[in-house]
Amino acid sequence: MQLEQFNYDNKIVRNFGIATIIWGIVGMTIGLLVATQLVWPQMNFGLQFTTFGRVRPVHTNAVIFAFVGNGIFMGVYYSLQRVLKARMFSDMLSKLHFWGWQLIIVASAITLPLGLTSSHEYAEMEWPIDIAITLIWVIFGVNMFGTIIKRRERHMYVAVWFYIATFVTVAVLHIVNSIQLPVAGWKSYYIYKGVQDALVQWWYGHNAVAFFLTTPYLGMMYYFLPKMANRPVYSYKLSILHFWSLIFIYIWAGPHHLLYTALPGWVQSLGVVFSVMLIAPSWGGMINGLLTLRGAWDKVRTEPMLKFMVVALTCYGMATFEGPMLSLKQVNAIAHFTDWIVAHVHVGALGWNGFMTFGILYWLIPRIYKTELYSKKLASTHFWIGTLGILFYAIPMYWAAVVQGLMWKEFTPEGVLKYPNFLATTLEILPMHMMRALGGALYLSGVLLMTFNLVKTMQKGKLVADEPAEAPALLPVQVNERSKHRRLERKPILFMVLALIAILIGGMVEMIPTFTISKNVPTIASVQPYTALELQGRDLYVREGCVNCHTQSIRPFRSETARYGEYSKAGEYVYDTPFLWGSKRTGPDLHRIGSKYPNKWHFDHLLDPTITSPGSIMPSYPWLIEQKLDNSILKDKMKALRKLGIPYTDAAIENADQDLQKQAQAIADDLKNNQVNVLADREIIAVIAYLQRLGTDIKAAPKTTEQINANQ
């Protein structure tokens, strides 16, 4: 049999590997900054570009798309070539993919601190960057499928199945979630509103975790773990069951992020059912990985990269058990909006994604540089420091979550809230947040140690940019193939189509009725569109990232209605784009904040939160008082929103500037009557107008300052 000679492209693997390390350090350093800001508010530095609300999405996107994203491409480009026995389809596409992805990361890192955000969690980038992501993802897909088509191996190995599912699903998720109507160069509005927007966002948000942070890493697990252990995958049949059940079930589970909200109950129930079902395929994958190590446990004790892989799989098992558990309504009622969600996410990110990335780097870099790892001892030290970092991070967060959940719900024997002041809970958990920051510092220290180790390894060896390889040409189809799945593995396009169908079913079943059946989102006659000034204030609220700390969704619990007011209704959100329900309460819910406090209270609270709330960890916003409100595209905003179904009349748009000035002047005059002199054209006036509007559409008309003071 004649063998064909070709070369594997290791240079692209090296490039993505270096980017993984660099962005990992950047993303985790920002994460450490964010952790310290929740203990010491002075770490916000008093600058509008470094507040928690603006920096937190920089951290999440840097870790997900920069660190993990580059780690995915590093692993895919290395393993794909070898299981298909072919060089990547196009070196030019590989380069475009690499540099395009890095430019997207840089653009995100610049725009998000500037407040240019769409606010959708894990998808905060504005529309020009969304388009760039789409183009680069298409380039990646063309390169991957081109390689699959020119392969020299007839059957596609299990890792390739997961890579295909990742590509098609992330493409669908990104496109559907990112449909926006541009207003200006860096401003747009989602075409979805309120309840529908929330459903789309968490269909995306949950499945971004599923198909960006999970499926490609499972594919890499199926390739790299057997290679490291020099053992075959435990069960081929289990891998088939794992793959198809996982991608079909996962896509349904997004609504479990929205339990007890205004989302239709039947959608919530579907999310719960399929979330519980997820335990089976998820643990099937974990078991398949761990049992692959049968007979190789002596090697686990001596090889640091296998230690990382074992802990990664263990954390995957923990996170995929915890997710379904959190979707149970009884658990969700206590845990949601608390630090339990933070702990859950980071067990997956630090343990599953982080540790598997480190294990692959330790195994892969010496091989493409044809040398030995500089120091196994340093790698083992990294393993133990990183493991301690995860424990010091997660355990205090679970502890804090229990404290939060119980304090929020506790009543006195007289039937009143025992801790009516939300700040009491915040101050109680500060020691746990300090420990969390220590855990993050330990984890980051381990990454720095790994960087030193890998740099020394690279210096010791020499990159084999074009690694020689040989393999026979693609063999003819074996007509006597008995397994239907083995026959399917010969047909990549059919495989992709079937995977696409599997992931589309759940989303369509949940979304189509929610969008098309009006009774799923009953309207409320008293709910009206935001005024011009309130619209501007809402956009400033989005710019400052307030949704990262404050929810706008009151659940139908006695503890929440006693603390915040009437529970939230679907019809209240019909004009909200984007929705701002939030996913974590670092501060109290704001959905009924309107008319609760006088304008001066809001002014003082934004100027210096400790004036109204001594001990608050909220940053101050003095620039809102200094900066003039930009109304240059106000009418364009209102016209765009009218296209999306918000009933702004021609007169409302034409008179927007005058109406805005009139409402702003009334607030400024009220502040002046309370010894606060601020110009009516300042940003803080718009923010106050928006806050005073929240929740008032189904309540009595907002009270005057005199009425509020009289009641106090």
Contacts of 120 (CB under 8 A, 6+ apart): 177, 190, 201, 204, 205, 578
Q: How far is CA 580 from CA 267, 296, 411, 602, 696, in A?
A: 19, 50, 28, 19, 16
Residue type (1 letter), 680: A
Q: Residues annotated as binding site for Cu cation?
A: 206, 256-257
Beta-carbon contacts of 423 under 8 Å, excluding residues fewer than 6 positions away, are 613, 615, 616
Round to whole Å and give the CA distance between 67 and 58: 12
In the structure encoding, which two tokens stand for residue 660, read together? Answer: 């805005």
Q: Output phi, psi for 622, to 5 deg.
A: -65, -25
CB 555 within 8 A of CB 261: yes
What one-letter code names the amino acid at 513?
P
Which amino acid is present at 325? M
> What's the rounded Cα separation, in Å, for the pair 433 and 132?
37
Residue 590 φ/ψ region, left for φ over 0, alpha for ψ in the -120 to 50 degree band, beta for the rest: alpha
* Strands 3-9, 466-472: pairing kind: antiparallel
Show binding-site residues.
59, 206, 256-257, 344, 346
Q: Which tokens hold the place of 145?
A: 């499928």
DSSP 101-156: HHHHHHHHHHHTTTT-----TT----HHHHHHHHHHHHHHHHHHHHHHHT-S-SSP
> CB neighbours (10 Å) of residue 505?
12
Burial of 95 (0-12, 13-18, 19+ CB in 10 A): middle
Name the 3-class secondary structure at 409.
helix
DSSP track, 458-501? HHHS---SEEEEEEEPPPPP-TT---HHHHHTT-HHHHHHHHHH
Quick one: which H or E segment has residue 9?
strand 3-9
**CA-closest candidate to residue 594, choices 678, 521, 700:** 700
The terminus-to-terminus CA distance of the chain in angstroms comes to 91
Which of these, 107, 118, 123, lies nearest to 64 by C-alpha position? 123
Least Cα distance to 137 among 161, 108, 112, 169 occurs for 169
Written as one letter, the residue type at 267 is V
**d(Cα 211, Cα 479) in Å, to the nearest integer?**
34
Enumerate the known binding-site residues for heme b.
59, 344, 346
Amino acid at 642: R
| Residue in 158, 297, 177 with CA at minimum distance from that of residue 215 | 158
H/E run at residue 668: helix 656-673
**Nearest Cα residue to 195 out of 118, 268, 273, 274:** 268
